[in-house]
A and B are shown apart, each in its own frame.
Chain A
């Protein structure tokens, strides 16, 4: 969209202030994410730019907070826990969610909307409610303060993302392909692994990435359900922020931002691949 040559002066002013406003909003969105990165290289234990940093004096920058993070067994342990919990819950959520999405996208699925609404609800219900309920219920099952408990809880929080992305992929799925496969002599299992799965894989993977991201960023359920042994990175950050905020957190935060960027790139590549596959069909 650009300004036509016949625009009145008032329209010109309006158009440019609209653009300016939008860039202001984008600045508001991106600046808080980016500001963390340079600050994490601060040589001083401050949360603001020092004179030296502003003058790009190399002695004002250091990797000391990264070293601090790597040498701190609490952070290392938290990272290990986060990876274990996120991987296990993603595997669980992706398997169950993909199966359900396959059922939900069949036209003879009964009570489709009600089931869908229920499966999406973990995304909608405030996590504090789920966490409080899980605290009571998981304690009575003996799952509180166990890895299993946290993994189950995180899996259920990740499921809506898998269900949504996989059903979305399946809406564009050409069902005559599975018919063609059956017609050519392939049984249902062979058809699933050789025809359906390769075609919906981008959706399954992006659903899985969402589930992984959800688990990796989750703190409320961890606060209620896990014990000291299952401390995750967000849980460690939570105490860091609450108790005494140290610039080590900025180093961790920077790493998490890098991780988000990688996730985002992967998703974009998957989206393009999916689009290309669909484009091929036309």
Chain B
């Protein structure tokens, strides 16, 4: 036996002084930075793509929900003059004169109707007031004569009594800022009143709060229906032997894969007054008069439940599939009755699936547009339909954008809850 010195073994941890540690960390950071940038480089093209084609449009929309330069651009001098105005009494003669001049020049350039329309949404009657005044003031020489004699105010009150009120002035002042919350206030049934304070809209103009509540209620109802219909079905799919559950699974996946418009068409065909369901019910003698089941809230709820049901069944199924049957067997062997074992053992384990499915269904249903638009009639309209209405028909884009902003905020809130609860990585499709 020979005894050799052990040269390469280092038995004691080499002491690291602070400098060495710093150097080490720096070298590590360099190596890491390179690896990270390699990973990041692969993602950058897509991030740029999503940024330009998706995020920028949404930012643009949000910008429009607070940006309102129309009044400030059209009536710049009036807006500047009204800055000092205290809203307590009628503005002085000079301000009347400035407004009169600007109205006349807008009238000459045929630019009046846009700004009048915008002001009208703030104070109804403003459109007619402005066009009437502008028309009269543009008569030959009227304006110069009135300014020279310092009697613009009297003349305008002569044209329309409302000029003796502070309300139209308050409307102009309220909209004079380029950046405004007025669209968001309108979307929540509020407005700036004559004193520039936030107050509720008059009763007959309040529609959006009810709309928001209705959208929530319909979504909650659909989510609940999907859960009631989907839970037992998911359970059956998860507990049947593979060979049989595969066939049933196809019956869930086929509707999931079928075009949304096709499914909506089906419901129109089924539910309409001359449709299949009415025919069957009459044939069976269950009803004597044909039921009106479409173009109302009923139609929206049925069709949307059908469309969203797979989004509830699939997450429930994937959670249930991973629950070993031995838990229920153990509970039974310990003396629990089936109902007790289900409530205390099975149900709690499926809560993540319920959470995932319910949030997903709810998120998708509060933003739903196509189905309510096609089968909703008047009563089945939701917030998305009003966004589309203001985008396409009323052309009140600011309000559409503000409604969109509110909807987006709600969805993103739910999305972050979903992310916290389920984890975005666990999102599955198909």
List chain A positions with a Cβ less than 8 A from chain B. Answer: 1, 11, 14, 18-19, 21-22, 25-26, 28-30, 32-33, 35-36, 39, 46-49, 92, 96-97, 99-100, 102-104, 106, 108-110, 113, 115-122, 124-130, 132-138, 140, 152-153, 155-156, 159, 161, 163-165, 167-168, 206, 210, 213, 216-217, 219-220, 223-224, 234, 237-238, 241-242, 245, 249-250, 253, 256-257, 260-261, 263-264, 267
Judge whether A219 and B430 touch: CB under 8 Å. Answer: no
Judge whether A121 and B276 touch: CB under 8 Å. Answer: no
How many pairs of residues, A versus B, come closer than 8 Å at their CB atoms? 267
Judge whether B388 and A128 touch: CB under 8 Å. Answer: yes
Given contacts A26-B233, A132-B61, contact A100 B279 (CB under 8 A): no
A279 to B275, CA, bound (A): 50
Please pick, from B255, B274, B368, the residue contacting A29 in the complex, using a CB distance under 8 A. B255
Contact digits for B94-120, partner A, Cβ 8 Å, 1 yes 0 no: 000000000000000000000000000
Please pick, from A96, A116, A132, A159, the residue contacting B391 in the complex, using a CB distance under 8 A. A132
Judge whether A100 and B43 touch: CB under 8 Å. Answer: yes
B57 and chain A: residue at smallest CB distance: A133
How many Å from the CB of B264 to the closest CB on chain A?
7
A240 and chain B: residue at smallest CB distance: B265
Judge whether B411 and A242 touch: CB under 8 Å. Answer: no
The reply on B260 being an interface residue by CB < 8 A is yes
- Number of chain B residues whose Cβ lies closer than 8 Å to a Cβ of chain A: 88
Judge whether A106 and B57 touch: CB under 8 Å. Answer: no
Given contacts A102-B42, A129-B61, A238-B261, contact A18 B251 (CB under 8 A): no
Judge whether A21 and B232 touch: CB under 8 Å. Answer: yes
Judge whether A22 and B236 touch: CB under 8 Å. Answer: yes
Q: Can you list 5 A-B pairs, Cβ within 8 angstroms, ordered by A?
A: A32-B255, A47-B269, A106-B42, A128-B369, A220-B369
The reply on B127 being an interface residue by CB < 8 A is no
How many Å from the CB of B97 to the closest CB on chain A?
38
Q: Which of these binds chain A: B33-41, B158-166, B173-181?
A: B33-41
List chain B positions with a Cβ less than 8 A from chain A. Answer: 32, 35-36, 38-43, 45-47, 49-50, 53-61, 64, 229-230, 232-233, 236, 239-240, 248, 250-255, 257-270, 272, 274-276, 279, 306, 309-310, 338, 363, 366-370, 374, 384, 387-388, 391, 397, 400-401, 404, 407-408, 411-412, 415, 419, 424-425, 427-430
Given contacts A108-B32, A128-B388, A159-B50, contact A136 B64 (CB under 8 A): yes
Residues of chain B lying within 8 A (CB to CB) of residue A238: 261, 370, 374
Judge whether A109 and B270 touch: CB under 8 Å. Answer: no
Judge whether A241 and B265 touch: CB under 8 Å. Answer: yes
Residues of chain B lying within 8 A (CB to CB) of residue A256: 258-259, 262
Residues of chain A lying within 8 A (CB to CB) of residue B397: 136
A185 to B413, CA, bound (A): 49
How many Å from the CB of A228 to the closest CB on chain B?
15
Judge whether B270 and A32 touch: CB under 8 Å. Answer: yes
Judge whether A113 and B424 touch: CB under 8 Å. Answer: yes
A165 to B32, CA, bound (A): 28
Judge whether A25 and B424 touch: CB under 8 Å. Answer: no
How many Å from the CB of B247 to the closest CB on chain A?
10
How many Å from the CB of B48 to the closest CB on chain A?
9
Please pick, from A48, A104, A217, the residue contacting B276 in the complex, using a CB distance under 8 A. A48
Given contacts A32-B267, A96-B45, contact A126 B236 (CB under 8 A): no
Residues of chain B lying within 8 A (CB to CB) of residue A118: 47, 50, 55
Please pick, from A30, A134, A163, A164, the residue contacting B254 in the complex, using a CB distance under 8 A. A30
Please pick, from A22, A217, A261, the residue contacting B261 in the complex, using a CB distance under 8 A. A217
Please pick, from A126, A241, A257, the residue contacting B268 in the complex, using a CB distance under 8 A. A241
A232 to B229, CA, bound (A): 34
Residues of chain A lying within 8 A (CB to CB) of residue B47: 100, 115, 118-119
Residues of chain B lying within 8 A (CB to CB) of residue A14: 338
How many Å from the CB of A174 to the closest CB on chain B?
18
Judge whether A22 and B233 touch: CB under 8 Å. Answer: yes
Residues of chain B lying within 8 A (CB to CB) of residue A213: 257
Judge whether A129 and B229 touch: CB under 8 Å. Answer: no
Residues of chain A lying within 8 A (CB to CB) of residue B404: 128-129, 132-133
Judge whether A18 and B232 touch: CB under 8 Å. Answer: yes
Residues of chain A lying within 8 A (CB to CB) of residue B35: 106, 108
